[in-house]
Structure 1
Amino acid sequence: MSSTRVITANGIELFIREEGQGPLVVLCHGWPELSYSWRHQIPALAAAGFHVVAPDMRGYGQSAAPSDVSAYSIFDTVGDVVGLVQALGETRAMVVGHDWGAPVAWHAALFRPDIFTAVAGLSVPPPFRARGKPLDLLRQGGVTNFYWQYFQTPGVAEAELERDVAHTMRVVLGGRGLADPTAAMFVQEGKGFLGHASGTEALPNWLSEADLAYFTETFRKSGFRGGLNWYRNIDRNWELTAPWQDARIHQPSLFIAGSKDAVITGLIGAKRVNELERVLPNLKRKLIIEGAGHWVQQERPDEVNSALVQFLKESAAQ
């Protein structure tokens, strides 16, 4: 049975769920999620012989949410994971991330190969540092309504998402009833981020009303600003990571995504998935789960758990 506690790491308080004994595995969630998003992985990895720790990431849930936008750079978020490993009394860990947690995991492996001995990323491919700032490149390409852009101005997305948190979580996690999931990434004028969906669709079979209620209650208390601030550092992260231009992640690595995930089916995402080995020369497996969407570890826990257990066991044995 997993337990929870609050631990101080990197100068802030992080709420964590943990279970098991053995080599340390840190699970990093994405947006708009929580450590609860790993509810199917924590017991499975603990049963396989690992000490599993999943924090509410900076800005989320019961963890600290600094008010300054600049406190959410990739250095801060990776610093939290490094600090967490140290606060747990360990010197080594394997790191797994989903959605926004994936860049944290990839960069943790990139920045601190002395600590992170293996890395798995779910849904978001590893960093391919482009020729310019991501938001600049979008504008230059004639794109002005991508959701990253909508999230930039403090207060705008918060007001929409916090108006009815239950509706927000039902739409974002429960799916938007769209034939083309990539359409959800573009914000129609005057309709906001949630404008595509009615929110009256039945929940998918992997998300119960009780699960949804937990996410809703937690975000009702915390608000959305902390998580949105991660998006407000996208260009800054590009600037900060200049020293790692064309750097590669040499540790054993694993990539998992759903075949219907808009992150990997779009033009850029598909290209990156095809070129994973450019950044991950020690890629052990690329698992694309047929029919799964973006919330892959919640949608298809058995397949994800099986792949993670095999990968982590092999990596721990090296």
Structure 2
Amino acid sequence: MLHGYAQANGIRLHYVERGRGPLVILLHGFPDFWYSWRDQIPALAAAGYRVVAPDLRGYNESERPLGVEAYTLDVLAADVAALVLALGAERATVVGHDWGGLVAWHVAMHHPEVVSSLVIMNAPHPLAFRRELKHNWAQKRRSWYIGFFQLPWLPEAMLTMGNRWLLRRVLRRGGPAQNEAELAAYLAAFDGPGAMTAALNYYRALLQLRSRRPVTIQAPTLLIWGLRDRFLLPVLTEGTEAWVPRLERHEEPRARHWVQHDAAASVNARLLAFLSVTATG
């Protein structure tokens, strides 16, 4: 595993890299960093792909700009498009989970020239999410934290007080850290000054999202969904074909939100089968 840095869209992004071949970019979610893909990086590299997993801006070792406006989806998508080019590639398969999935949707819609194929894991299409938040009370209840994260300073205080017990709970109980060693790695990623504020600014910047006409995604797309997700209901996947005509679905009945860990072997097999048909060098 090689660690590197790239200047992309005016900031310095840290990433890990392994393997050679067609480029695959792996985008993590919240509260996460490149380590989110520890179960996928070796498998993809061994199968003949150049795998790059960046820390998204504000996370871990990547640069941490100040201000909510630095974390809008337009800015985040531009980071990824610029990173593809900075890595010396013209196009890549873009894979995203959670917030990384939302960014990946945005890249495919607004920077389609850099996307050869798209893989989304437990992240609804933005229009489907907007639809369900408007009409589905069950999904509204599950998304309560989005409203809470809009508050100034209080979410940071709660997540960091008392030896970060709440952050530890989020990471360990059904979260991405499956043992104490992994928990320590996640906690270390949030040690830097302003780290928690940068991560929460992703949610705060949602209010700055500009309304746009729907953009059809032409890239072949694989949607993987853990059905036991306690944050996002499966109904969020319904109707996705209207915006993504070349859509392939795969459900993991026993997996929770972090499907790439709960069903790593199955997810890797599905991902590799998809890439063997859609990835380009």
Contact map agreement 1:165 1:216 (CA 8 A) in 2:
no
Which residue identity lines up with residue 161 of structure 2 in the other structure? R
Q: What is the aligned partner in structure 1 of residue 153 from structure 2? A: 155
> Where in structure 2 are there 5+ consecutive unaligned residues?
none
Runs of 4 or more, structure 1, over 3 Å off, are 129-132, 136-139
3-state SS in 2 of match to 1:25: strand
**Alignment partner for residue 233 of structure 1, among 205, 223, 242?**
205
Distance 1:210 1:228 in 2: 24
Which residue identity lines up with residue 170 of structure 1 in the other structure? R
Distance 1:246 1:130 in 2: 13
**Alignment partner for residue 277 of structure 1, among 234, 237, 241?**
241
Q: What is the aligned partner in structure 2 of residue 290 from structure 1? A: 253
Displacement of 1:74 in angstroms is: 0.5
Distance 2:103 2:4 in 1: 22
1:311 aligns with 2:274: yes
3-state SS in 1 of match to 2:126: coil
Distance 2:163 2:56 in 1: 19
Cα shift readout 1:163-197 (whole Å, capped 9, x = no counterpart): 14552343112226xxxxxxxxxxxxxxxxxxxxx
Q: What is the aligned partner in structure 2 of residue 185 from structure 1? A: none
Cα shift readout 1:98-149 (whole Å, capped 9, x = no counterpart): 00000111111111221101101100122217779x6x9899x997x91111
Which residue identity lines up with residue 252 of structure 2 in the other structure? I
**Alignment partner for residue 210 of structure 1, among 170, 181, 184?**
181
Q: What is the aligned partner in structure 1 of residue 47 from structure 2? A: 48
Which residue identity lines up with residue 293 of structure 1 in the other structure? R
* Aligned-pair Cα RMSD in Å: 2.7
Which residue identity lines up with residue 218 of structure 1 in the other structure? A
TM-score, normalised on structure 1? Answer: 0.81
3-state SS in 2 of match to 1:13: strand
Displacement of 1:260 in angstroms is: 0.4
Displacement of 1:301 in angstroms is: 1.2
3-state SS in 1 of match to 2:279: helix
Which residue identity lines up with residue 99 of structure 2 in the other structure? W
3-state SS in 2 of match to 1:221: coil
Cα shift readout 1:225-266 (whole Å, capped 9, x = no counterpart): 1110000011212xx2x33x232212100111211002432x
3-state SS in 1 of match to 2:14: strand
Distance 2:165 2:130 in 1: 38
Structure 1 or 2, whichever has the larger Rg, is 1
Q: How does 1:1-318 map to 2 (within 5 A)?
A: 2-128=1-127, 146-164=144-162, 166-175=164-173, 207-222=178-193, 223-237=195-209, 240=210, 242-243=211-212, 245-265=213-233, 270-284=234-248, 286-316=249-279
3-state SS in 2 of match to 1:224: helix
3-state SS in 2 of match to 1:128: helix
3-state SS in 2 of match to 1:114: helix
TM-score, normalised on structure 2? Answer: 0.91
Distance 1:131 1:173 in 2: 26
Contact map agreement 1:162 1:220 (CA 8 A) in 2:
no
Which residue identity lines up with residue 207 of structure 2 in the other structure? D
Identity %: 38
Displacement of 1:307 in angstroms is: 1.1
Contact map agreement 1:256 1:288 (CA 8 A) in 2:
yes
Aligned length: 279
> Where in structure 1 are there 5+ consecutive unaligned residues?
177-202
* Structure 1 residues 310 and 64: alpha-carbon distance in aligned structure 2, compared to 1, 3 A threshold: same
